[in-house]
Structure 1
Amino acid sequence: MFIYTLVFMCTYLSVKAEEVHCPQRTGFFPDPYQCDLYYVCSKGKAEAKLCPDGLVFNDGNPNFERCDIPANVDCGDRTELQQAKPSRGCPRANGYYRHDNPLACDKFYNCVNGKPHELPCPPGLVYDDVASSCAWPQDANRKDCTKPIKDVLDDGFTCPDGPTMTADGRTLPHPTFAHPNDCQKFYICRNGIQPQKGSCSAGKVYNEDTFTCDDPDNVPGCETYYKEKKN
């Protein structure tokens, strides 16, 4: 079956090449109907070639032979593609694809020659099928991944929903929050999603009004924090 398919494809490409009139004597030119099929013209004669499965021909410059992921190429009316060569985790042999676990919105596969390589999105982002990249949930073209994915620390802290605003109305990209039981400690929410533990330097305590480390006398309830620690 494989030999038959290979012979058929070679014959098909040869026939296609014979039908092509090279726009220029030398260069790389797209097939008018199939986005992953292109022609190498040399001295006015065309040789048909296929991009690796999953990639399409970038026809932006006839002096360059380049295959790229579909998200980076406007195929226009060139809607046809070669027969897919799928494998586990890879709808096609090459390219970027959503994870086969529907709950793993923040992960995706980079398929190379049919082998999937699992990759993570940055904290708070999900994989966008259309753009073949990671995006904020509200901007991604996926209705199944509308909520941010948030981590929980070992003490149970998780970043609150919604933006954190300063007194003058600015949104904090990496807001901080006071520890409920320790004046010196606080939490950092990277991108408002990923929680991390933080601690003020010795002699300072966290001020939740200014989102900074401050002198104990400026933070109600923490004035005697270091005196109590010595005792």
Structure 2
Amino acid sequence: MKTFACLLVLSALTYSAYGQENFKCPDDFGFYPHHISCDKYWKCDNNVAELKTCGNGLAFDASDPKFLTENCDYIHNVECNDRTQLEPAVGTAHCERLYGIFADEAKCDVFWNCWNGEASRYQCSPGLAYDREARVCMWADQVPECKNEEVAGGFSCPAAGEVANSGSFSRHAHPEDCRKYYICLEGTAREYGCPIGTVFKIGDADGTGNCEDPEDVPGCEDYYGDLDLKSIRKSELLAGLNSSGSSRAVTHNKGKPRPAPASRTAPEQPAN
């Protein structure tokens, strides 16, 4: 009796597996989604079905109503619906799967684009952080993963009323980097970067300032070192980035830090 019961169970399992993989092509040629796996699909050629699997971290895009498109895309770009099963994850350094876009575990403004297990590092612009849900760079104070980290490098905005004539927001110099500055809006600090070729010049009034040429900012004249700023500005202008505050990496000689705010208590008068 036990032997007969085991045979029935084995027969049922065999039938179930066979039923899952016994796919009949609806047409002579096409690409059809697997009924339970999002990263598998059927390729039909001359009415012969072949089971295919997308790369680890990719899923089959079944949005083509004519089933003529063979397209594996990042899992987060594909509507899997009832196709909930995926192959087990295969990861490498910085990559949870071989393909995909993944947040850095240590720095909330860094993310990795993985293709076939090779990770390319990307960094959000100053003041922004990578949002794992939206998969875009957003203000760091709006990203949950950054709540436990120092937002804006630990900079704290002045208390209400401490900065006179600042209007709805105030600007403050970064203590170490001449190109960076903070904007305080309703007590929240957000880090910005001046367009390449310029640095932040502290204004005469508290909480003010603008991006200016380095030679016009005492203490920041040598920020870009020996770089050809004219060529850089021309290339940025042609690329449409001259006023975007892009965070493109620039190698420069930082020299001494920005002068301490105390030196600005009596602004120097321009020379006659």
Amino acid of the structure 2 residue aligned with 1:114: G
Contact 1:18/1:46 (8 A) holds in 2? no
1:125 aligns with 2:128: yes
Secondary structure of the structure 2 residue equivalent to 1:71 = helix
1:187 touches 1:198 (CA, 8 Å); kept in 2? no
Contact 2:126 2:193 in 1 (8 A): no
Unaligned runs of 5+ in 1: 1-14, 165-172, 189-196, 203-220
Question: TM-score with structure 1 length normalisation?
Answer: 0.60
Cα 1:136–1:79 shift into 2, 3 Å = farther
Residues 133-161 of structure 1: CA deviation (Å, up to 9, x unaligned): 32334665xx2224754593537874132
Counterpart in the other structure of 2:116:
113
What's the counterpart of residue 85 of structure 1? Answer: 90
Residues 91, 16 of structure 1: CA spacing in aligned structure 2 closer, same or farther, 3 A cutoff? farther
Q: Deviations over 1:4-44 (max 9, x none)?
A: xxxxxxxxxxx688511223321111111111101111122
Contact kept in structure 2, 1:17 and 1:39, CA below 8 Å: no
Does structure 1 conserve the Cα–Cα contact (< 8 Å) formed by 2:108 and 2:129? yes
CA spacing shift, 1:22–1:138, aligned 2, 3 Å: farther
Query: Distance in 1 between the 2:63 and 2:123 partners?
Result: 31
1:157-197 Cα deviation digits (max 9, x unpaired): 74132179xxxxxxxx999x862569xxx744xxxxxxxx4
Inter-CA distance 26–163: structure 2 relative to 1 (3 Å threshold): farther
Report the counterpart of residue 77 of structure 2 in structure 1: 72
> 1:117 offset after TM fit, Å?
1.6
Q: Is 2:69 the partner of 1:53? A: no
Q: Mark the CA change 1:163 to 1:174 in structure 2 (over 3 Å): closer, same or farther.
A: farther
Other-structure match for 2:176: 154
Deviations 1:50-82 (A, max 9, x none): 111011111111211111112211111111101
CA contact (8 A) 2:102 2:113 kept: yes
Q: Which of the two has greater helix per residue?
A: 2
Corresponding residue for residue 10 of structure 1: none
Q: Which amino acid aligns with 2:90?
A: K
Partner residue of 1:198?
212
- Please state whether the residue corresponding to 1:88 is helix, strand or coil: coil
Helix, strand or coil: the match of 1:91? coil
**Cα distance in 1 between the residues matched to 2:139 and 2:25:** 44
TM-score by length of structure 2 reads 0.52
Question: Partner of 1:85: helix, strand, or coil?
Answer: coil
1:160 aligned counterpart, secondary structure:
strand
